[in-house]
Amino acid sequence: MPGASGWLEWVIVVVVARHAASRGGNLAIRRANEQRYFEADLRAAVGAAVAERASLRSAMLRAVFPVHRPRRLRVSPGIRGLVRETSLEPRDLVWPLFFSATLTEPRPVATMPGVSQLPVSHAARIARQATELGLGGVILFGLPEQKDARGSMACDPEGPVPRTIRAMKDAAPELVVMADVCVDEYTDHGHCGVLREGPRGPEVDNDATLEILSEAAVVYARSGADVVAPSDMMDGRVGAIRETLDDEGLEMTAILSYAVKYASAFYGPFREAADCAPKFGDRAGYQMDPGNGREALREARLDEEEGADMLMVKPGLPYLDVLARVRAATTLPLGVYNVSGEYAMLKAAVARGMLDERRSVLELLTSFRRAGADFILTYHAVDAARWLGA
């Protein structure tokens, strides 16, 4: 069928042709008649074209609307459940925990309502709770007794993290225990590596830091961690850790790389929880620039090539686009860190009665799964697992 405007053109051509053919005879009368016929024909033609166009539109609409009604699949919880594209289960959630070498009682973190620093003596109970809730795992951060320039305590087999790992593995051998590998909780300056004097002042010495990270990873793996998770953003750390673990006969310990980690304001509340705020400067020299999306693919690819078993994007909410892009670029399992600032802002809104906590948390966690995350590190893990009816 010709398009409506093509049809209109054709009609006009016919009318003009008839007009030309009727030339000759009584000129004055004929002209007047011709003019009338011509105008009437033109009006009819335009009317027909408009009607044709309208009926075309309504035909097209009919083909879509009364036939297609997406609401049919939203009429009941059963149907919605049947066609839901994204699932969210307790096993998708990893619970971040802060264990202190010095505390004997939990100490609430002011910036993160509901989160506390914990004494190592609570490790077994927490591990059993995580198992009962069906969580995917826990990830451990340590608050040491002392800090120094190198962050040596990160490698102490009697530090809070190795002790917690052993206690958890005794109490709940099936629980997946991950250990965050980074020195910022252990350095007196709060940076994620060893410092040296650079051309622009003190800077984190990438290659010197690799040694201490590898050593810490070995200590956690020997203590029984299933997964070590470097969060420092040094170049080459996945390869260095893999090689050291393998040399130590720990080739079955998996590496979850914080491959795509941005220099984010949303870590603010965590820095109180883990007592790791840098004493000078910021982390922009090693963590990624928030404006960069393509670079995320490069970081992910490099860590994959170095031997990472799983990758992670961090933070979550402000980087869902990055999460989706990394998802499309790798076949490795992919995690996302729903970080402290995301948690704090939701909790603050809930505390003021501005948001419904349960609905907003579950929607938020679902958004990470929909964007492509296999698992989510989240401080909402326990509440969410309960709501999901573990």
Q: Which residues are catalytic?
A: 261, 314
Shortest separation between residue 270's beta carbon and ligand PBG, angstroms: 3
Beta 254-261 vs 227-230: how paired, if at all?
A: parallel
Nearer to ligand PBG, 119 or 186 (CB): 186
Nearer to ligand PBG, 15 or 375 (CB): 375
Shortest separation between residue 190's beta carbon and ligand PBG, angstroms: 9
Shortest separation between residue 56's beta carbon and ligand PBG, angstroms: 57
Beta strands in the chain (DSSP E): 93-100, 107-108, 116-119, 137-143, 177-181, 195-198, 201-204, 227-230, 254-261, 310-314, 334-338, 375-378
Shortest separation between residue 241's beta carbon and ligand PBG, angstroms: 15
The residue written with tokens 């938020």 in the block is 364
Quote the DSSP letter at residue 14. H
Nearer to ligand PBG, 184 or 303 (CB): 184
Output b/e per residue, 31-42; b: 16+ Cβ within 10 A.
Answer: eeeeeeeeeebe
Shortest separation between residue 4's beta carbon and ligand PBG, angstroms: 59
Nearer to ligand PBG, 2 or 202 (CB): 202
Which has the closest alpha carbon to 161: 212, 223, 104, 248? Answer: 223
For the chain, the straight-line distance linking the first and the last C-alpha, in angstroms and rounded, comes to 59
DSSP H/E element including 346: helix 340-351
Cα 335 from Cα 316, distance rounded (Å): 9
Shortest separation between residue 183's beta carbon and ligand PBG, angstroms: 8
Beta 107-108 vs 116-119: how paired, if at all?
A: antiparallel
Cα 200 from Cα 198, distance rounded (Å): 5
The residue written with tokens 């053919």 in the block is 21
Nearer to ligand PBG, 134 or 268 (CB): 268
| Residues lying near ligand PBG in the complex (CB under 6 A) | 180, 182, 184, 231, 267, 270-271, 283, 339-340
Residue facing ligand PBG at closest CB distance: 270
Output b/e per residue, 217-241; b: 16+ Cβ within 10 A.
Answer: bbbbbbbbbbbbbbbbbbeebbbbb
Quote the DSSP letter at residue 129. H
Nearer to ligand PBG, 226 or 275 (CB): 275
The residues, ordered by sequence, that sit 6+ positions from 42 with a Cβ below 8 Å of its Cβ are 12, 15
Q: Do 191 and 278 form a contact (C-beta atoms < 8 A)?
A: yes
Shortest separation between residue 334's beta carbon and ligand PBG, angstroms: 17
Nearer to ligand PBG, 271 or 370 (CB): 271
